[in-house]
């Protein structure tokens, strides 16, 4: 029987279950089976058990327990290939480096400078910036050769920056600047330069106030993007977005100034401000308004020209007028510039909110309305779609906190890193005068353009001997162009020398007339042969050199008059003492007045 039972147990083991026919209880059998499986290292997926009570031929009760375990391994659910997450080479290399440095870092954690550095970080995280700075300064002074020197110096600047306030931010800027000076090639130098821009960004005011902080913030962000192109992608993305927001504020300021000048009909200044926005800040959220402002400025100039009279016979002497041909040329020039600005809005800013205003202006000028291409439309939609929208929270924040509005700043595209030449009001006025001169003398203007074009070609080719077109327009003679007496012109030009005169002059054909002062020619240096330091010009001075009359003596001040009317006091006679009236003296011995006596002043 024992042999049969051992065989049965062996068969049960092969089939994956145990049969216990001894007397222990079912719970004890299950516990033993669990210990056996856990001890052998077999990880069963499913374990089941059952008990059975039987009576043998002799009438004895026997209990048996059966435990079975499913030792088969279940397959993991299959994941699609496109959903599988694979580690890149960089990730694997980073994990390998981290595992390699883990023992080293564990050993460094016991160093005193590392413990001091970790303590300072914990204090800064808790908001105890002054304690953190003391610990970091102790680290810098006590461990000059520590590997945490660079990090400690950067954390000192971070503590000042996180503390906030005008004084703390000024100190943080100085600390970041020192860090960039001492560690220019460190990976954290780009972050330090970024924080310098953030300091000025926090202090920026609204566009109609001082914009010095905005200019410095723009300069700091541009420096970071130029000098640290290999910085982390997250840092570069943040720097570009901050630069877009700063340029949004700067463009808003220029646009508001342009609108102010337009309201006062100072069209040259208005055009200059709007043109600066167009040339310098291409991602401005109200670029359509700026271009329409440029067009309206030239349209207003054209309207003023249309209101001027045409020169015809019979006009009142001294009346202002323009020849008809000149007026037509100036109107054509201004209308062309105005229409060009409107067309730019329609073509390059087709998704802007005020594109319909530009179309209406073109229609009022009887000009065709252009149609933007698919690329232009897609570019404009992408730019306008990248702008955020106003929410109630953002409006309340702008209302309560005095900060510039950067909600509608673009979040796509590369911001410009260099500013073009600014357009100023004097340059606009100079261009307007040039337009007038060209309208009056178009031939001379065309020849001047040819000369400028030929000069540009010669400068580009780099040939100093390149042939240039000689200017035809007569220009004023220079001093060296005036021939001496008895000499003939050597350049073939015909020039008639001025005849000598008995009037005052310098001997160079220039007559100087000084009203009220008679000066003969013999008294001038050019006539006597002496060098003239003023080149023939009279010495500046007053016309009347006679001495001034002496200053008159100031009259004596009148005696002071006493306006109080009264009898003069007689002089005190010698030997007599003044009589004092006791009734005039104040004394507490007098009885106080009672009754009607209080009303008697005497």
Give the pLDDT of residue 494: 39
Q: What is the mean pLDDT of residues 73-95?
A: 73
Question: Which tens digits make up the pLDDT trace of 211-221?
Answer: 999 999 999 99
Beta bridge partners of 64: 52
Q: Is residue 260 part of a domain?
A: no
Which residue range is the domain that position 445 belongs to? 427-461
pLDDT reading at 91 higher than 90: no
Q: Which of 70, 88, 105 is the last residue of a domain?
A: 70
Q: Is residue 35 part of a domain?
A: yes
Q: Is residue 31 part of a domain?
A: yes
State the Cα–Cα distance between residues 68 and 46, nearest whole angstrom.
8
* Three-state DSSP string of 165-230: CHHHHHHHHHHHHHHHHHCCCCCCHHHHHHHHHHHHHHCCCCCCCCCHHHHHHHHHHHHHHHHCCC
Question: Which tens digits make up the pLDDT trace of 119-168?
Answer: 999 999 999 999 999 999 999 999 988 889 999 999 999 999 999 889 99
Give the pLDDT of residue 465: 47
Give whole-number Cα distances, 512 to 372, 497, 498, 506, in Å: 65, 17, 14, 8
Calculate the CA 212 to chain-centre distance: 9
Higher pLDDT, 587 or 544: 544
Beta bridge partners of 65: 20, 51
pLDDT reading at 487 higher than 50: no
pLDDT reading at 44 higher than 80: no
Q: Which helix (H) or strand (E) holds 341?
A: helix 324-348
Structurally, the chain folds into a number of domains equal to: 2
196: nearest Cα among 174, 212, 167, 214: 174
Q: CB–CB of 245/281 below 8 Å? A: no
Higher pLDDT, 484 or 558: 558
pLDDT band for 21, please (50, 70, 90 cuts): very low
Pick left, alpha or beta for residue 509 (phi over 0 → left; psi -120 to 50 → alpha; otherwise beta).
Answer: left
**Max CA distance (Å), the chain:** 171
Question: Which tens digits make up the pLDDT trace of 424-476?
Answer: 889 888 888 888 888 877 777 677 767 767 766 666 555 544 444 444 444 44
457: nearest Cα among 468, 448, 446: 468
Give the pLDDT of residue 508: 37
pLDDT reading at 88 higher than 60: yes
Q: Is residue 30 part of a domain?
A: yes
pLDDT reading at 263 higher than 90: yes
Q: Judging by beta carbons within 10 Å of its beta carbon (0-12, 13-18, 19+), is residue 424 exposed, middle or buried?
A: middle
Give the pLDDT of residue 481: 46
Angle at which helix 212-227 crosses helix 233-263, to 10 degrees, equals: 150
Q: Is residue 41 part of a domain?
A: yes
Give the pLDDT of residue 514: 43
Q: Is residue 173 part of a domain?
A: no
Q: Which of 271-275, 372-376, 419-423, 509-513 has the lowest mean pLDDT?
A: 509-513
Give the pLDDT of residue 282: 92
Q: Which residues contact 175 (CB under 8 A, 6 or more apart)?
A: 153, 156, 157, 160
Q: Which of 45, 70, 95 is the last residue of a domain?
A: 70
Please give the mean pLDDT across all residues of the chain: 76
Q: CB–CB of 258/290 below 8 Å? A: yes
Percent of the chain with pLDDT over 70: 64
Q: CB–CB of 429/268 below 8 Å? A: yes
Beta bridge partners of 63: 53
pLDDT reading at 8 higher than 70: no
Phi, psi of 415 (to 5 degrees): -70, 150
pLDDT reading at 20 higher than 60: no
Radius of gyration (C-alpha) of the chain in whole angstroms? 50
CB atoms within 10 A of CB 454: 14
Higher pLDDT, 249 or 27: 249
DSSP string for 502-550: SSSB-SSS-B---TT----GGGSHHHHT---TTTTPPPP--S--SPPPP
Q: What is the mean pLDDT of residues 559-570?
A: 58
Q: Which helix (H) or strand (E) holds 67?
A: strand 61-70
Question: Which tens digits make up the pLDDT trace of 321-330?
Answer: 888 888 888 8
State the Cα–Cα distance between residues 149 and 12, nearest whole angstrom.
70
Give the pLDDT of residue 545: 77
Q: Judging by beta carbons within 10 Å of its beta carbon (0-12, 13-18, 19+), is residue 115 exposed, middle or buried?
A: middle
Q: Which helix (H) or strand (E) holds 254?
A: helix 233-263
Give the pLDDT of residue 48: 61
Give the pLDDT of residue 597: 72
Give the pLDDT of residue 327: 86
State the Cα–Cα distance between residues 504 and 527, nearest whole angstrom.
10
CB atoms within 10 A of CB 293: 23
State the Cα–Cα distance between residues 83 and 601, nearest whole angstrom.
115
Higher pLDDT, 511 or 277: 277
Q: Is residue 167 part of a domain?
A: no
3-class secondary structure, 344: helix
pLDDT reading at 525 higher than 80: no
Q: Is residue 357 part of a domain?
A: no
pLDDT band for 368, please (50, 70, 90 cuts): very high
Give the pLDDT of residue 42: 43
pTM exceeds cut of 0.75: no
pLDDT reading at 245 higher than 70: yes
Q: Which of 104-108, 254-258, 490-494, 566-570 has the lowest mean pLDDT?
A: 490-494
Question: Which tens digits make up the pLDDT trace of 267-308?
Answer: 999 999 999 999 999 999 999 999 999 999 999 999 988 888
DSSP conformation class of 455: H
Give the pLDDT of residue 438: 81
């Amino acid at each position: 029987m024992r042999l049969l039972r051992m065989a049965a147990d062996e068969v049960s083991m092969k089939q994956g279950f145990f049969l216990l026919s001894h007397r222990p209880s079912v719970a004890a059998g299950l516990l033993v089976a669990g210990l056996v499986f856990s001890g052998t290292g077999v990880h069963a997926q499913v374990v089941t058990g059952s008990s059975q009570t039987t009576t043998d031929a002799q009438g004895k009760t026997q209990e048996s327990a059966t435990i079975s375990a499913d030792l088969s391994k279940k397959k993991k659910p299959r994941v699609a290939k496109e959903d599988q997450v694979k580690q890149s080479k960089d990730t694997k290399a980073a994990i390998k480096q981290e595992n390699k440095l883990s023992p080293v870092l564990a050993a460094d954690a016991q160093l005193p400078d590392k413990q001091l550095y970790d303590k300072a970080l914990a204090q800064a995280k808790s908001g105890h910036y002054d304690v953190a700075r003391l610990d970091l300064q102790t680290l810098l002074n006590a461990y000059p050769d520590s590997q945490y020197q660079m990090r400690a110096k950067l954390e000192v600047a971070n503590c000042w920056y996180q503390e906030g306030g005008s004084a703390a931010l000024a100190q943080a800027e100085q600390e970041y600047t020192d860090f960039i000076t001492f560690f220019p090639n460190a990976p954290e130098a780009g972050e330090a330069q970024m924080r310098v821009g953030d300091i000025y960004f926090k202090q920026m005011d609204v566009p109609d106030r001082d914009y010095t902080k905005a200019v410095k913030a723009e300069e700091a962000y541009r420096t970071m993007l130029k000098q640290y192109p290999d910085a982390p992608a997250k840092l570069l993305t943040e720097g570009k977005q901050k630069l877009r927001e700063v340029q949004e504020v700067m463009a808003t300021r220029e646009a508001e100034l342009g609108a102010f000048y337009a309201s006062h009909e100072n069209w040259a200044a208005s055009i200059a401000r709007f043109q600066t926005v167009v040339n310098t800040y291409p991602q401005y959220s109200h670029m359509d308004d700026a271009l329409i402002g440029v067009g309206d400025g030239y349209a207003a100039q054209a309207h003023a020209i249309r209101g001027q009279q045409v020169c015809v016979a019979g006009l009142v002497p001294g009346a202002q007028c323009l020849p008809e041909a000149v007026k037509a040329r100036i109107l054509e020039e201004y209308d062309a510039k105005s229409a060009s600005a409107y067309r730019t809005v329609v073509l390059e800013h087709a998704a802007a909110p005020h594109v319909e205003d530009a179309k209406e202006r073109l229609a009022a000028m009887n000009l065709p309305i252009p149609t933007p291409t698919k690329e232009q439309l897609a570019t404009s939609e992408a730019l306008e779609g990248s702008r955020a929208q106003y929410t109630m929270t953002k409006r309340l924040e702008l209302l309560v906190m005095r900060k510039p509005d950067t909600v509608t700043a673009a979040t796509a595209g590369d911001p410009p890193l260099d500013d073009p030449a600014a357009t100023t009001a004097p340059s606009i006025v100079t261009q307007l005068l040039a337009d007038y001169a060209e309208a009056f003398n178009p031939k001379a203007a065309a020849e001047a353009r040819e000369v400028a074009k030929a000069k540009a070609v010669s400068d580009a080719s780099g040939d100093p001997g390149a042939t240039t077109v000689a200017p035809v327009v007569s220009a004023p003679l220079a001093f060296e162009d005036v021939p001496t007496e008895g000499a003939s012109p050597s350049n073939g030009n015909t020039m008639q020398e001025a005849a000598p005169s008995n009037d005052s002059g310098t001997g160079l054909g220039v007559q100087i007339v000084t009203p009220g002062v008679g000066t003969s020619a013999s008294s001038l240096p050019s006539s006597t042969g002496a060098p003239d330091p003023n080149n023939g010009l009279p010495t500046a001075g007053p016309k009347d050199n006679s001495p001034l009359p002496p200053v008159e003596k100031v009259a004596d001040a009148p005696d002071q008059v006493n306006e109080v009317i009264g009898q003069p006091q007689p002089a005190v006679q010698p030997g007599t003492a003044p009589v004092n009236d006791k009734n005039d003296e104040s004394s507490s011995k007098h009885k106080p007045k009672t009754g009607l006596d209080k009303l008697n002043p005497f």
